[in-house]
Chain A
Amino acid sequence: MTTAAAPLEVRNLTKHFAVGGGVRRAHLHAVDDVSFELRPGKITALVGESGSGKSTVARLLARLYDPSTGAVLFEGGDVSTVRRRRDVLRYRSQVQMIFQDPFGSLNPVKTVRHHIERPLRVHHVVPRGQIEGRVHELLSTVGLVPPEDIAAKYPHELSGGQRQRVAIARALAVEPKVVLADEPISMLDVSIRIGILNLMARLKEERGIAFLYVTHDLGSARYLADDILVMYAGQIVEHGPIEQVLSSPLHPYTRLLLAAVPDPATKLHAQRIEMRKGRASAAVDPPEGCRFVTRCPLAIEVCSRVTPPLVEERPPQAARCHVTAPAS
């Protein structure tokens, strides 16, 4: 992979959380040895079930958490440990986050104008005299028209989809190079989700923004993204170009996810998914070995002994599986 063009690169990122106390103290391996890069004008989907660590990855990149080990490189420099306010501000002006809940991410007693103005002022994006004009421009960009009317409204006067657009306009205010979108459509009504996806696709094209799209929804990931990262129990178990991965998945977990998505073309009982009972991705002090082994229909003896490495079985598609992507 080339690193020159990547504004954001993640190397061997690991985050452990302490759980329990005293003699029952243990460590949840929320993110374990995760590496990838986000490229300008590309959307990378990060998919997995709840508890797989995908939101933790987004939060690590947004510097909401400090990593246990590993590095987050922004334009070549490690930002995972920056502490000085000026450096943090500089990073946050380049890497923005959009959250799942458009009801919780806006201040209910402030107008839309306030939400968009604030980053413009804090980061000195434009001279004071131009702030008003820029607010309206940003609102128009995300499809909130007429901007003069919308700017004066309070969050409760807007629908969920409109609020999410405000959150996107706020993220765009600082002209970021990277946007981290954590389940941005999962709380929205079905009929307006596509509008938000199309907006993100347009911003990618027009502004060359590098997007991380965190989701559990494979259909929307395929619609929007160029590349995919599949996470299971804190590890990336498969990654590659999204069409390639979804049309010929290597990892048994990716196959399971694909089989579980409702497909109007088939009847439910026609396609029973092959699965063994096992605990879903819990990674509390995980032993050596593949973390999917208890649910895997393909498991062989070595799987419970040795953690499989990520192998580029069909470059650039790679998977962590002794059976379908054996290390040579």
Chain B
Amino acid sequence: MTSSVEEPVLQSTSDAKLLELRHLTVEYGSGAKRARAVDGVDLTIHESEIVGLAGESGCGKSTIANAVMHILRPPARIAGGSIVFNGEDLVGKSAEELRRFRWRNVSIVLQSAMNALNPVMRVGDQFIDAMRAHERIDRRRAIARTGELLELVGIDRRRARAYPHELSGGMRQRVIIAMALALRPELIVMDEPTTALDVVVQREILQQIEALKREFGFAVLFITHDISLLLEFADRIAIMYAGEIVEAAPAARLASNAQHPYTQGLLRSFPPLTGPITRLTGIPGSPPDLRDPPSGCRFHPRCPHCLPEQAALSIRQTTERPVLRPVQPGHEVACHLVAEASQ
């Protein structure tokens, strides 16, 4: 597969920070109904790195995606912190500056590709529209580029003449990924890009994303509820619970040495395909209402290690908010238990 895309960037191993979320806080609503969907999140994505963000529905992971893209809609708003991209803070930029930033620097792939494409427009025309909205390119070159992008994701270039309904779900999702690549962004945000797809198609698409990443060197923020998928696919994983990041570590380290009880519970929630079948417990209870989050550690009502017998610890767990602390270089955990053990 050859690409049109000029000067393909080789995979860089640099530690250069591409995106940095600093104490990002996003709120929905106001007054008594105010909910902090994202509460003081710090997260860094380096160049050409795949960072996975995992958590349950309502934990704030998609809100982070929307905040990075600056496509939050009222009643959501950024209530604090900064989003630094290539050294520049995006919070407070004008609408026009943000419009240029989107797609050129960062693009997004959402879960339901079927809704993202215009059903009454040929696929190819949608590519051309997108390209011409962001750069000066004549129609003929845009058509050629569209064909090349489609081939990059394994779709025959003649399918540019197809309408979205003529493509399968997997193909439409590939079209969206090709579109996200159109302006060669440095970061692609993928919010549950394969959740609606079958496992076989999901695997094909993940392999394709990885191959493209190796070719073009973009970074990926990959958001999903499926931690088992991230263990295989991501370089680094951050686990979110109730608006906060509770643990972040390299994928291999997280698989073998998860420290936060919530991460451990998530990892135990996937029955294995090989080895002995042991009785799993999942995590008792359900995620909290963010309009009224639990005091102290937000996970404490569901935590198997929060016991009234251990009075001193349990008081800290129920009143004091744990902060992310490194337990090893690159591995951070926000948990009183872990903080206690490492002291």
Contact = CB atoms under 8 A, between A and B. Distances in A.
Interface of A: 49-50, 159, 161-162, 189-195, 197-198, 216, 218-220, 222-223, 246-247, 256-264, 266-269, 272-273, 275, 280
B56 A261 contact: no
A266 B252 CA distance: 10
Residue from A218, A220, A263, A264 having most chain B Cβ neighbours under 10 A: A264
B225 interface: yes
Given A189-B57, A257-B200, A262-B233, 6 more contacts: A189-B286, A190-B225, A192-B286, A194-B281, A198-B281, A216-B199
B265 interface: yes
Contacts of A247: 274
A194 B280 contact: yes
A197 B201 CA distance: 26
Given A264-B255, A272-B207, A223 B199 contact: no
A161 B286 contact: yes
A242 B284 CA distance: 28
B123 to A, nearest CB: 18
Contacts of B268: 194
User: What 5 A-B pairs are tightest by C-beta distance, nearest first?
Assistant: A194-B282, A223-B271, A264-B231, A191-B283, A49-B198
A262 B228 contact: yes
Nearest to B280: A194
A162 B286 CA distance: 9
A262 B56 contact: no
Interface residues of B, number: 41
Tell me the interface secondary structure of chain A in the complex: helix
B64 to A, nearest CB: 18
Interface of B: 56-57, 168, 170, 198-204, 206-207, 210, 225-229, 231-233, 255, 265-266, 268-274, 277, 279-284, 286-287
Contacts of B282: 191-195, 198
Given A219-B272, A275-B200, A269 B210 contact: yes
B198 A280 contact: yes
B272 A267 contact: no
Nearest to B227: A190
Contacts of B201: 49, 280
A256 B200 contact: yes
A79 B172 CA distance: 41
5 contacts: A49-B198, A195-B282, A218-B199, A246-B273, A268-B206
Given A190-B225, A219-B271, A280-B201, A269 B207 contact: yes
A261 B279 contact: no
Given A261-B199, A280-B198, A193 B269 contact: yes
B225 A220 contact: no
A296 to B, nearest CB: 13
B314 to A, nearest CB: 22
Contacts of A219: 270-273
A177 to B, nearest CB: 26
A216 B198 contact: yes
Contact of B232 (A223, A246, A258, A267): A267
